Structure formats: structure tokens, C-alpha cells
Structure 1
């Protein structure tokens, strides 16, 4: 082995030993999160699905009354409706898990179509400094408040989701920061950066010096002894998985450090902060009734009748505007929505922005999470992310076993040489 490769092996080895347990943990929890939506819906199917009927869906006002009867002190923040007739309507409540009036710092949660959670990060705003949530002035973050699920045909309450008590929220907190706040997030960010170096040095070590050595490095020699299989699993499968693991680690770094998002904004000449939502004009006549959620939904359906989902976020202040997010068919991710802001009194469009019109930096940051979890192209990439995550968890183990085998072999060779020298002497 050349001195250069020997140096790379040393770096690869000690970085792997130092971060091996964290890499195993991150890869395993990441594999679980790849199927968050599917597992969540399977565990609580009654929460997300109903039997469609021939009767039309009830007005949102009636569903809101059912939610208020279920939680008299709750204040409704918005609605999410799906084109799928078998899906329930998700009603978001104002405030964090503590209920109305919870502090902004208590509001959290990441967006997932199956779990009905929404946040600025899901829409590509949380991967850099200055990213706003779904609100801003007049529309303060709707992010992590409880979600009530309602049967759109009967107004029956089918379930409730509190993000803080959700199993996958806990797994995500462990995956992204060991549930240890900023320090844990920093540890995971550094670990992801180290993992990039491990993958890079691994590729250098994998690269054969002779062409005839290439084929053995591309195949697992099935039927061999366990040591050979362990070697092939680490070398051959590691090569195939390295590209995908590199992408996952890179996006993990992007979600861990604010400077990554800031750098992307600077390189793409994108604004550092998301503009504040527009405000509504005070009505000329005092006591004018605000525009209703049903009227907003009717307008959204008129403009995008083939949309997969509609999210209507109602204003929380008298000067706030109504936000409507529409997910078009074939959207690249679930956060690739078109957004419209309406005056809450007149229903007039104040501003609008399609996904394609978003700043490039915001769109890039918005891809971090779906690429990281494999949700970027649906079920096929989720399966790929799941498999790659499991493989990633094995590499620190197989690498450690290889190192121990080499040490044992080296020790045995040293002992044999010592015996031979004693015999000669």
C-alpha cells in the first residue's frame, strides 16, 4: 500500500472508530423515518381515512363547529383538505402542544402529509438563518399545534395528533440532535461532516491500483467464510451505497448548520429572509365579517380543480391575511406548493407565488429533507433510503471487525516472528 493510501486508511479507521456508534444510530433512526407516513397511517388508519359516501362533503364551518364542541377552548388556525375522497380533513389549532397561547418556542414539528404537520422548514425556509415559519406578521407560526382529524361527511372526530407526543417526532429529534437541543444538533452536524470524510477516504481506499483488481471489489463472494463475507460487505456494498450515503450526509449537514443555508442564499442571490406575509386592509364599514374558510376553499378549487391538497390558514390577527397553499399534481415534493395570500375581509388576492417562482435558494433548501429521507420521488426512493440506511448502519460494524481481524493477524505474525528468532538464537 502506498504511503498516501496508508495515510487515508489511518484517517478512515480512526474517524470510523470515533463516530461509529453515532453513525449506526443515525442510519437506523433514518431508516425508520423513511416510512414515517406509511407507518403512521397504518398504526392510526381510522385517524386518516374514512369510507367515502355519495353525499357531498360538509362545509368547513360545520367541521369547525364539531372541533369546537370537541375542544371548547381551542382556536382554529387552519384546514387541510385532500382530493382523495377517503381522506379526513385536518384541522390545525392555534398554539403549540400546550394549547392556545403556547409560546412560539414550543411550536415545532415537521411537515408530513400523513401526519398533517406543517412547518417553515418543510416549505424550504428552515435550513438557513432568517427562515420564517408559516406566519410572520399577522400569521404567526402554525407549525406544531395539535391537529384534529374530522370525517368530512359526518363531522365526526376521528383522532387527534399532538406533535410533541408523536412517536416519530421523538425519533426525529433523536435523529437530528439526540433530543439534546442545540448541542445535540451540533454533535450530529459534526458527525455528518465527519461521515463525509469517512466516505471520501473509503472511496480512495476502494479504488484499485490494477484493473484486474476491480471485479473482485464489485462483487460479494457468496459461500465464502465469514471473514471474507464481512470484508466484501464492507468493501463492495460500501462502494454501491457510498454515493447515496454521501448525499444523505450532505443534506444532513445542510439541515444542521445555518451557514449552509446562508451560503446557498448568497450563491444563488436569494433573499436571506422570507418576506413577511402581507396584511389585510381594514374594512371601510366597521363590523364587516371576515371572509370564510369555505369561500376561500371554493376560490382555491376554482383556480386549481385538480390539486392534490389545499391548505387554508386563517389569520390570527385583525390585520392578518389568509394563506392558501395548493399542491399541484406531479409536484416534486410535498412542500412544492403554490401560495396565495388573500385579504381576510374582501377575499381579494394580495400576493401569490407559484413553487417555480420561489427564490432558487429557498427551493434548494426545501429539497434537503425530502432528499435526506428519500421522499423526493415517492415510494421508490423511500425504499432506497430505507435500504441504504440499513446498509450504512452495518459499515461501522463490518469495518471494526476488519480492523480487529487485522490486529489479530498482525499480533499472530509478530508472535511467529518472535518464535522463529528465538529458535534461531
Structure 2
């Protein structure tokens, strides 16, 4: 082995031994998050799905009244309506929840006057959330940049035909939110996030040095390093699992680790913004014009939804974010069919009194930096192209959890072999 490859082997070995346990933990929790949306909706299907009725859907005003009856002190920040007739209406409540029916830690305006529920994950991708990102909790895509996503109040799910409350989700108490916090080290605050970011960076070096070590010196050895010898003993199988499967998984794991670094360090997002000449901060939401007279009623959410459906009749969902105060505007996010992620929405701001268009932006018109950072999470979790890439991400991260184990076994076997060779020499010298 050349001195250069010997140096790479040393780096590969000791980085792997030092970070092996963390890599195994991160990969296993990543496997769970790959199917976050599907598992969440499967475990709580009654929350997300209803049997479609022959009667027309209820108005958003009726849905809001049902939520107020369920939580008298609730302040509605936004509503999300799906085109799928089997989906419930998701209502986001403003403020951080303190638990218990009708209890809210932080208050905003009621439906009509409005309130802004926080959408940390969407803001991390460089844009405001749609109604506090109502209903985008399980499997929400597009998280990137600063990686914030801990804010926001609970979401209430309402049957659009009967106004029955089908469930409530507190994002902070959600199982998958806990797994994500563990996966990203956020349970330990900034220090934990830094550790995970460093671990992802170390993993990149391990993968890069692994490719160098895999690359054979002779062309004849290529085929041997591309196939697992299934009929061999366990030591050879362990070797092939690490070397051969490691080669196939390395490219995918490199992309996963790279996006993990991007979500862990703020400077990555800032650097992307500078390189793409994108704004470092998202623009403030436009304000509504002052009403002509006193006592002017705000533009009704049902009228907003009707306008959105008229402009995009084939949309998969419509998310309404209500204004936070008397000067705020109504934000409408629309997901069109074939969108690359659930956050790849077209957005408009409407005057809350007249319903007139103030400004708008399609997904393609967003700054390049925002779009790149918005892809970090869907690429990282495999949600970028749906089921095929989710399965791929699951398999690759599961393999990633085995490589520290197989690598450690290879190192131990090599040490034992060296010790056996040294014993006869020691006896002869004695």
C-alpha cells in the first residue's frame, strides 16, 4: 500500500472509531424520519382522513366555529384545505401551547382579525409559513438554513362535512418531533447541534477516504470489489458488506451527510445566499391599506379560498395564513400538482379588507438561495421524489448504521491476525 493510501486508511480508521456510535445513532433515527409522514398518518389515520360525504363541504367559518367551541380561548392563525375529499381541514392555532383543552400560552387575533402562527421550518428555508404551516407537521419538506422549527401552536383537525373535531397535534409533543430533535442533537441545545454538525462533517471525510481506499490499484480487482461473495465465511462477508456495500452507498450517504451539514451550520445557508446573490433575509409581509371607514369587516376566509380555487382549481392544497394585526395581509400558499416538495408553493398576499392582490410570487420566482436551502430537508430525508427516494434513503441510512460496526469488526480481526503473527517471533526471540 502506498504511503498516501496508508495515511487515508489511518484517517478513515480513527475517524470511524471515534464517531462510530454517533453515526449509528444518527443513521437509525434517520431511518425512522424517512417515513415520518406515512407512519404518522397510518398511526393516527382518524386524525387526517374521513369518509367523504355526499353533502357539500362546510364553510371555513363553520369550521372555525367548531374549533372555537372545542377551544374557547383558541386564536386561529391559519387554515389548510386539501383538494382530496378524504382529508380533514387543518387549523393552526397561534402561540405556543401549554397543554390542556382551551389553554394557550400566547394569544393572537381571532379568525378575521387574524394571528400569525409561527412556521419556523418554513422561515428556516427563507420564507414565511402558510398559516403557521397548518397541517404540514408530519413529513413536512423543505427545512433548511437555520433549521429552526420548534415554534408554533397546536393544530386541530376538523371533519369538513360534519365539523367534528377528529384530533389535535401539538408539534412539540409529537413522537417524530422528539426523534428529529434527537437526530439533530437539538435536545442538547446549541452544543448538541454543533456536535451533530461536526459528526456529519466527519462522516463526509470517512466516506471520501473510504472511496479512496476502495479504489483498486489494478483493473482486474474492480469486479471483486463490486460483488459480495455470499458463499464465504462470516469474516469475508463482513469484509464485503463494508467494502462493497460501502461503495454503493457512499454516493447517496455523501449527499445525505452534506445536506445534514447544511442544516446544522448557519454559515452554509448564508454562503449559499451570497454565492447566488440571494437576499440574506426574507422580505417583510406587505401591509393592508387602511379601510375607508370605521368598522369595515375583514375579507372572509371563505372568499379568499374561493379566489384561490378560481386561480388554481387543480391545486393539491390551499393554506391560508391570517393577518397578525389590523395592518397585516392575508397570505395564501397554493401547492400545484407535480411540485418538487410540499413547500414548493406559489404564494400571494391579499389585502385583508378588500381582498385585492398586494403581491405574489411563484415557486420558480423565489431567490435561488431560498430554493436551494429549501431542498436540504427533502433531499436529506429522501422525500424529494416521493416513495422511490424515501425507500432509497431508508436503505442507505440503514446501511450507514452498519458500516461502523463492520469496520470495527474488520479492525479487530486485523489486530488479532497481527498479534498471532507476532507471537512466534516473540517466542523465537526469547
Pairwise same-fold verdict (TM > 0.5): yes
Aligned counterpart in structure 1 of residue 223 of structure 2, from 215, 221, 233:
215
- Following superposition, the deviation at residue 199 of structure 1 comes to 0.3
- Following superposition, the deviation at residue 416 of structure 1 comes to 2.1
Does 2:257 correspond to 1:238? no
What is the alpha-carbon distance in structure 2 between the residues aligned to residue 55 and residue 108 of structure 1? 33
- Following superposition, the deviation at residue 100 of structure 1 comes to 4.7
TM-score (norm 2): 0.91
Distance 1:189 1:44, change over 3 A: same
**Equivalent residue for 2:145?**
127
**Equivalent residue for 2:372?**
364
The question of whether the paired residues in 2 share the 8 Å contact of 1:109 and 1:117 is answered with no
Render the CA deviation track for 1:318-350: whole Å, top value 9, x for unaligned. 111100000000001111000000000010010
What is the alpha-carbon distance in structure 1 between the residues aligned to residue 205 and residue 134 of structure 2? 35
Does 2:84 correspond to 1:65? no
The question of whether the paired residues in 1 share the 8 Å contact of 2:75 and 2:107 is answered with no
The question of whether the paired residues in 2 share the 8 Å contact of 1:88 and 1:151 is answered with yes
**Equivalent residue for 2:235?**
227
Distance 1:102 1:317, change over 3 A: closer
Distance 1:115 1:406, change over 3 A: farther
- Following superposition, the deviation at residue 123 of structure 1 comes to 5.2
Correspondence list, 1:279-298, <5 A = 279-298=287-306
Does 2:316 correspond to 1:308? yes
Correspondence list, 1:90-129, <5 A = 90-98=90-98, 99-101=104-106, 110=121, 116-117=135-136, 126-128=144-146
The question of whether the paired residues in 1 share the 8 Å contact of 2:288 and 2:351 is answered with yes
- Following superposition, the deviation at residue 145 of structure 1 comes to 1.1
TM-score (norm 1): 0.92
**Equivalent residue for 2:111?**
none
- Following superposition, the deviation at residue 102 of structure 1 comes to 6.8
What is the alpha-carbon distance in structure 1 between the residues aligned to residue 107 and residue 334 of structure 2? 28
Aligned counterpart in structure 2 of residue 259 of structure 1, from 267, 271, 276:
267
Distance 1:167 1:89, change over 3 A: same
- Following superposition, the deviation at residue 420 of structure 1 comes to 3.7
**Equivalent residue for 1:43?**
43
- Following superposition, the deviation at residue 117 of structure 1 comes to 3.4
Distance 1:399 1:178, change over 3 A: farther
Does 2:163 correspond to 1:155? yes
The question of whether the paired residues in 1 share the 8 Å contact of 2:137 and 2:171 is answered with no
The question of whether the paired residues in 1 share the 8 Å contact of 2:157 and 2:168 is answered with yes
- Following superposition, the deviation at residue 97 of structure 1 comes to 2.4
- Following superposition, the deviation at residue 282 of structure 1 comes to 1.1
- Following superposition, the deviation at residue 284 of structure 1 comes to 1.0
Correspondence list, 1:255-404, <5 A = 255-404=263-412
Distance 1:115 1:25, change over 3 A: farther
Does 2:203 correspond to 1:195? yes
Any unmatched runs of 5+ in structure 1?
A: 134-140
- Following superposition, the deviation at residue 148 of structure 1 comes to 0.2
- Following superposition, the deviation at residue 122 of structure 1 comes to 5.1
**SS of 1:317's equivalent?**
coil
**SS of 1:274's equivalent?**
coil
Distance 1:24 1:220, change over 3 A: same
- Following superposition, the deviation at residue 179 of structure 1 comes to 1.2
How many residue pairs were aligned? 409
